[in-house]
Every structure is written in structure tokens, then in C-alpha cells.
Amino acid sequence: MDRNTIIGFLLIGAMLITMFVVNSRSRLKYEGEQKRIKDSIAALQPKPDTAKARLDSIRVDSVKTAQVQQSIGSTQATAQTVTVENEVMKIAFTSKGAQPQTVTLKKFKRFDSSLVVLQKGNFNKFTYKVAGGNNQTVESSDIIFTAQPVVKNNDGSQTISFTTGDSSGSHSITHRFTLKPNDYMVGFDIAIKGATQLIGQNKLNLLWQTEADQIEKDHAYEQGQTEICFLENNEYDFERAASGGRKVLGAPVNWIAQKQQFFIVALAAKNNFSGAEIDWTASADTNSFIAQTTVNTQLALKPGDHANIPLQIYYGPSDYTILKKNGNQMQNIVPYGSGVFAFVKYINRHILLPVFNYLKDHIASMGMVILLLTLFIRLITAPILYKSYLSGAKMKVLKPEVDELKAKLTDPKTGKYDQQAFGMEQMKLWRSAGVNPLGGCIPALLQIPIFMSLYYFFQSNIDLRGKHFLWADDLAAYDSILKLPFHIPLYGDHISLFTITATVTSMLISIYSMSQMQDNSNPVMKYMPYIFPIMLLGVFNRLPSALTWYYTVSNTITLILQIVIQKYIIDHDKILAKLNENKKKPQKQSKLQERIQAMQDAQKKIKDMKEKTAKK
């Protein structure tokens, strides 16, 4: 392997480590600065004291409260709880506010083996203002609705309705929820009779609050994977939740979601929201919530006395296949590629995911699935690897001639050689032999998209969650063979064995590659096999064990391919004979080579003129 190939791999390593370590810090700093700018601009804008107005609207005395209750419903009656469930989740609805109270997923467990609960606690709610008596308002979340019996529909779905209204029957509100079999999407319809009097302004201001509790074992890592996602003007976008923030969306907004590492709570409007304001906070306390999100949305109502607002609520996994069935781009929430590597999501969706699903359906062990998927990828990229090693072999057989050039241009008195002249002669030699000096670097760089697609894939695929393999209890989280009683900076408080195996195999590749270099006399290069793997040790220690297991397998296959290709496939004698034949052929330069040659000639002339001037 030649110096250019080593440089290519080192560039890849440096770029990836820079992205892993620096990107998170710079992103948080950027988001904090953007938030500061937005807050500064918002502070300069004149706006009503909405918080005070909201507080004043619900601060009424006991007489007025009684009049409001008589108008639209009671806020003092005892609330009822009605539970509706299908094959995948169970929802406990409360008649206070007619909304979900707790949502439990049946097929997923938390890190402590209890079932995943996506909604619980008083922070979670839906509410909007309803007009009452004496020009007062009441929050819908404070009204005690009347629960109707659960209705089983012909298509297997179940419907639960909650109603409230005044004594005359001219004003009423109905919340209707529908659960389909094996579906995580809940239909949520709000029907209002007498909307002109109860709501007014042909617009409903709906407040939605949702809290994400810790589900995975690493609070900080899960928080780093949590995002606020939305579809605005038919374009998907997201914000990181870890630093907190605020986002104002214009029309139309189809849905807004709070995504944790592997689970999502989302609110969608079939007719779109006419606008939304999103505020979110994150907790640094590992015993507290991951994130809290408050969404103020606006829903346009059609003119008339009757209003029907069709909504949907998603409580479920961040699963690409499940989300795609919704037909509203919600599958974009699954982070199969983002930022400068956003394009790799197409590799994940259309190549890796189908192959992975096929293997998963036929092989019980998820660790073996990862091994076979890695083998599949390495076999596909083997031709690229072969070209890289072939380029290195060509340069290696030319090393004696390169050494002769260097000796020819070396001053016997000083022991120094003209580097510019040597570079020009070396380029001529490579060109005459038909060798591309970038032949080792470019193939290595072409592997970056595959490398990054797998990086995103193994971090985002929920099918890996909870799967055991060897000593790893959960392939979607780091494996730990020893919990340390202290925290090591840049490493952590545990020892991941898969991280160690990935580091050791990476080091073996570097050492073997250095032994195959055409020139390893540079003392700095002698330490390179150890620097990059040691840096990986700290970066990978908190990553999912599926990812570090993949790196272990990939490195092992790469090392085997290197040995097989260089020992048994590449024939150095044939390569040398071929290069000698190329020297005899007339050489035709490309336009780029002509420009490089012209630049080198010009530099040589300038240097010669300077030397002549200096002698005079």
C-alpha cells in the first residue's frame, strides 16, 4: 500500500472523528446563537402580553365559574377513565378534557424491562378555549366530558366518543377517537355544534403539550438523539431538542412530532394547521424527563355553525416501514442521513434496508444478520478496494526507479535533493508507466458514503433494539462488560468490549498497511497506526453495540481482503512487465496533466532565474 492510500484512509479517519466529536459541540453552539438572535428579534417586536391575557381569561370568581359550567359543562364533576386497546398499544382516556391520559406500547420495553409508556403525567394534554357565560372562557382540558360506550366498527376499528354541551342542546363539543387494528395512528376528530358562539373568529387555537420520559439506558445519549420534527410547506425539517429552543412555522403545517431515539409522538392535521409555534426544553437531570414540547397551533374553521376538525395522533416506534404507510412523509423522521451526509438516506432506504429486512426474516440472530450484511457490503466494495491496492502495488514496483531519481538529484555534499525537480521527474515516471498517483486515495474516499450510510443505519434501526448478541444485552445501546466507579474524560464510565475489538482490528489494519508502504522511513508515519484507533476508542465507547460489532466485522473482512488481494491476486511481476510496456507506448497527456506540466515548467523557470540572479 502506497503513501497516498494511507493518506486517503487517514483523511477519512480525521474527517469522521472531526464530525463525531466536533459537530455535536458546534451544532449546539450554533443553535444557541440562533436562539439568542431569534429571541433578540422577538424582544424588539411589539406583541400583546399573551401570558397575562391567558391567565386573566381563566381567573374568574366562583359565581362566574358556576355560570360557565351551566353554559357548556362541568369542571367539578368526577372524571372517568376509559381504556381502549388494540394489538400494539393500550390507551387510557380521561373524560377530563376528553383526551388520552396514558399510552402504553405492548411490544416494546424500557431499559428496566417495563413496557414503554409514551404519555403519562399532567404535563401532557390537548386544550383550547371555549366561550362560556358572561363573556368568560374555559379551557377544554378543564371540562368534564361524558364518556360514551366504545363502539366496534365493521372494519375492526374501535371508536370512543366524549361529549359535553349546554342544557338547551344548541351548543355541544364531541371528541371522537378511533383505533384501528395493529395501528399506532389514532384518529382524533373534534366536532363543535354552535362553533360561532363557542369558538368564534373561524379559528381554533389548539395547545398541545407532550413530555418525553427516558426510555433507553443512557439519558444523555437518548437526549442527543431527540429531535423536534415537522412538515412545513410539504418540506420536512427538524431541530435538535438537547439545547432547547423555539420555532415559528407558517402555513401549511401537516404535522409536528417529538422524536426520541426510537419512539415518536406526533400530531397531524388532515387539513393542515394554518400556523404553529413550538417551544421545547431539555433536562440535564438524568432522573428527569428527556424533553418537554409545547405547541400552539391554529386551525382554520369553515364558516358556519358546525365545525369538524379531523386530526391524527401517532404514538409509536420510529420505524421507516410503519411510518411510510401513513403517506405524509413521516418516514423522514427516521434519521437515515442528515446534514452533509443527507444523501446516504437513499442508500439506506433502497439498498441496505431491503437487504437487512430479508436477512432478518430468515435469520434469528441479529448479530449474524449484521455480520452477513457487512459481508455483503464488503463484497460489493471489494472492486474499489482492489483498485486501491493495485495502485499501491504499481507504485511499489516503481520504488527502485523512484529511489534512483532521488539519488540522481541528491547533492553529494549536502545530502539534500531538489524536491521540485524530483517531483517533476517522479510525475513523468508515473505518467510514462500509466500510474495514477491518486489511484490509492480516490477509491478510499469513494467508500465514505457506504461507511456513513451504515453509521446512520445501525444507530436508527429500531429492529436492533432489545436484541441480544454474545455479551451485548441490547444491540441498540452500548455493550458494557465492566462498570467503572469513576468517569474518564473523553471515554466514559464503562468498558465496551465491542469497542475494544473494533479498535484492535482497526489497529491491525493500520499496522499491516504500514508494512506494505513503499516508503515507511518517515518517523512520524510510524506512529499513525496507533493514533487513529486510540481516538476511535473514545469516540465509539458510547455508540450502539450494533455499530461497533459492524466495525469489528468490517475491519476483519478488510484485513483478510488486504492479505488475499496482495498475496494471492496481485502479481507484482506482471504489474512490472505491464508498466514497462506502458513506458514504450507514446504518452498522450490529458488537459489536466498538460496544465500541471505547464505549471511545473513555469515554476522551474522561475526557480532557475532566481538561482542565476543569486549567482550574479
Mean pLDDT by 10 residues, the chain (616 residues): 50 57 49 50 45 38 37 71 94 94 94 92 91 77 92 93 82 93 95 84 90 90 91 92 89 92 94 92 87 93 86 95 92 88 89 92 91 87 73 68 70 67 68 62 70 86 90 88 85 87 86 64 61 78 88 87 74 64 59 62 69 67
Spatial CA neighbour of 395 closest among 449, 346, 436: 436
Contact between 206 and 271 under an 8 Å Cβ cutoff? The reply is no
Assign domain 48-334 to a CATH class: mainly beta
- Phi, psi torsion values for 217, nearest 5 degrees: -80, -20
Spatial CA neighbour of 606 closest among 598, 594, 408, 426: 598
Q: To which residue does cell 498522450 refer? A: 588
Number of alpha helices (DSSP H) and beta strands (DSSP E) in the chain: 18, 23
Residue 593: its pLDDT value, please? 57
Q: To which residue does cell 486510540 refer? A: 534
From residue 116, give the alpha-carbon distance in Å to each of 181, 212, 315: 19, 11, 11
Residue 218: its pLDDT value, please? 86
Strand, coil or helix: 187: strand
- Phi, psi torsion values for 598, nearest 5 degrees: -65, -40
Beta bridge partners of 163: 146, 174
- The residue type at 110: R
The DSSP result for 145-167, as a single string, is: PEEPPPEE-TTS-EEEEEEEE-T
Spatial CA neighbour of 204 closest among 176, 165, 173, 162: 173
CB atoms within 10 A of CB 568: 8
Residue 284: its pLDDT value, please? 83
Contact between 257 and 230 under an 8 Å Cβ cutoff? The reply is yes
Residue extents of the structural domains in the chain = 48-334
Spatial CA neighbour of 220 closest among 32, 30, 24, 27: 24
Torsion of CA 114, 116, 121, 123, to 10 degrees: 150
As a 3-state breakdown, the chain gives helix, strand, coil percent values, each rounded to 5, of 45, 25, 30
Strand, coil or helix: 364: coil
pTM of the predicted protein model? 0.76
